[in-house]
Every structure is written in structure tokens, then in C-alpha cells.
Structure 1
Amino acid sequence: MARPPASTGASPDTVELTTGPATPAEARDEARTFLSALAPLPSRESAENVLLVVSELVTNALRHAGGATALRLAADRRSLHISVRDPSPEPPHERVPDLRGYEGGFGWPLVRKLARSVAVTPSLDGGKNVCVALPR
């Protein structure tokens, strides 16, 4: 069940959850709600890419960084922006993909391939923000 977004005072094209999503499915639900409220709507491919990137970033935060502490979604005329904050200061890194399908290793390269830009910045709480911009 989607929670109401914490208002940031920003335009309706921005939503920020100051308590992070507990699961990738919850994050995808928030992203679907966000995308459906945009005007004009993003293309189907762009919307699917947002859902994939949100899922990968939140999964990585949960699996490798102690959880997702915030999710921020924003849009402008050209781009869709995703930011996931977590408590670990360690930046994401590529791993050798597990071709047997048990250990992953595909998500971070996929995020970087889909993204127009990727930035990893320290957050004030000692963790980091992973920020991705995708074509709208």
C-alpha cells in the first residue's frame, strides 16, 4: 500500500519519501504512482526503465548498504530523476555477474547503461545518495 509522499514544497513533479521504502516492490509502487501523475506522461519505455532502476537501486541499498533511507523522484521536461539514499558511505561497484543466477552482479551495470547520468554523493547523515537521470 502506497504511503502519501512527504511534501517537499517542490513542484508536483517531485515526490520524496523521507522514510525509505521497505521493499523494492513498495518503491516500484511509489514510482508507478509518481509516473501516472506526470503531464505529459513519459513514454512506456521510459516508465519501464524508471521502474527497473528504482527496483535495482533499492535492492542494492537493502542488500549491500543497510537499507534505503529515502527515495526521491523528480521530473523535468527532458529527464526523470531518481535518488536513493542509504546509510553506507561505500559507493556502488561492479561485481563479476553470476551467470548461474544466484549472486546477481547485473544491476549496477544495467543502471549505468540505462542512465543519462549517474552521481554518487555523500549525504549529511554519513551515508550516500545514488542519483540517476533517465531520458523522459
Structure 2
Amino acid sequence: MSTTRPSRPAPGEPGPEAHGSAAAGGPAGPAGPSRRLHLVGVGGAVPMSRDFTRQALADWGWLPAASADHRAAAEDVLLVVSELVTNACLHAGGPEELLVTRGAKVLRLEVSDLGAGEPAPRTPHRAGRPGGHGMFIVQRLCLDWGVVRHEGGVGKTVWAELAAPG
């Protein structure tokens, strides 16, 4: 798993510059549909982001889950959304935007913020201590994840990719 490099997407999958996709449910070109949620100044960003993502998964046929494996995949997506948005709230002055993009084999989550920090799993990970588990969870559940710095050096997008249920 990467922590700070842009991903190298598979053909037909979204890449780190997936921000050019259409807003809220519009087509995103060959990569698949995207959903965009603006979070600037929003209270309750974490539950709002989970509800937004849950609705996208329902619209895309992931929910209601057809099997235990599909249910687990959807729960993993919702947990990763929660962790990424929570990290933006706690460590980056709040999230600006959540982008959820469905590819043929991968679901990509992107959370943009204006923060300067570099998210990374705490090393060593201490399972029995409270807090500090967010990026460890992201690293464990995702196929890959990373950080893309915004042009001009202000802010970043933290992205994570999870396998589509199959």
C-alpha cells in the first residue's frame, strides 16, 4: 500500500485527477459514474458523507447486499469514508469535498481538504490504545491509497480504492 504517491490506475479506472468528473451522479467518462458532495462549512460531515455514500452504493446496486460478501464490501466502503472524512475534520481544518467514483472493478473515494499534513498510519500500531487507528484501517481495507497535493501547494486530496464486490 502506498501512502503519498499517486496511484497508477488500471485501464478504464479513475486516476488521481478524477476531479474532472461530472457532479452528483453525472457520468465521469470511461471510468464510470461519480458522485460529488461539497462539505465546506457543513456540520455533521461524517454522518452526511456516510449517508451520501450509502445512497450511491444503493443506486449502483451494492445495497441492499445480495450476499454476506457484498454486505461486507459495502460496510468497508462506509468505514473508509468515515475514517477519511474524520481525519480531514480532526487534522486538516475540515473536508472540502467527497468524491465517490465507481469503476468496473474498483470504487475510489477522494476527500479533499486545505490541510498541509501527510496522513500516515501510526507506527507502531497499538491496537489497545484509543485513537490513531484511522489510516491503519484505511491501509488494511483498501487495495491502495495515497495523497495528491493540490496545485499551488495549498491542500490535498486523500484517495483510497476498494475492490468492487464480485
Please confirm whether the aligned pair reaches a TM-score higher than 0.5, indicating the same fold.
Answer: yes
Question: In the aligned structure 1, how far is the partner of 2:54 from the partner of 2:24?
Answer: 17
- 1:76 is matched with which residue? 103
Cα distance change of structure 1 residues 13 and 129 upon mapping to structure 2, 3 Å threshold: same
- 1:127 is matched with which residue? 155
- 1:10 is matched with which residue? 27
Give the count of matched residue pairs: 130
Shift in Å, 1:120: 0.4
TM-score by length of 2: 0.69
Question: In the aligned structure 1, how far is the partner of 2:113 from the partner of 2:96?
Answer: 5
- Structure 2 unpaired stretches of 5+: 1-21
TM-score by length of 1: 0.83
Shift in Å, 1:130: 0.4
How big is each residue's C-alpha offset from its partner over 1:68-87, in whole Å with a ceiling of 9 and x where there is no partner? Answer: 00000011121111000011
- 2:50 is matched with which residue? 28
- Rg comparison, structure with higher value: 2
SS in 2 for 1:130: strand
How big is each residue's C-alpha offset from its partner over 1:64-118, in whole Å with a ceiling of 9 and x where there is no partner? Answer: 11000000001112111100001112210233547342xx011111101111010
Matching residue's letter, 2:88: A
Cα distance change of structure 1 residues 64 and 35 upon mapping to structure 2, 3 Å threshold: same
Matching residue's letter, 2:162: L
Matching residue's letter, 2:146: A
**RMSD over aligned Cα atoms:** 2.4
1:60 aligns with 2:91: no
- Structure 1 unpaired stretches of 5+: none
- 2:17 is matched with which residue? none
Cα distance change of structure 1 residues 98 and 49 upon mapping to structure 2, 3 Å threshold: closer
How big is each residue's C-alpha offset from its partner over 1:20-52, in whole Å with a ceiling of 9 and x where there is no partner? Answer: 564211110001011000046571111100100
Shift in Å, 1:6: 4.0
Cα distance change of structure 1 residues 14 and 105 upon mapping to structure 2, 3 Å threshold: same
Higher RCO (C-alpha under 8 Å, 6+ residues apart): 2
Question: In the aligned structure 2, how far is the partner of 1:100 from the partner of 1:113?
Answer: 18
Say whether the 8 Å CA contact 1:118–1:131 is kept in structure 2.
Answer: yes
Say whether the 8 Å CA contact 1:83–1:130 is kept in structure 2.
Answer: yes
Matching residue's letter, 1:82: L
Cα distance change of structure 1 residues 48 and 86 upon mapping to structure 2, 3 Å threshold: same
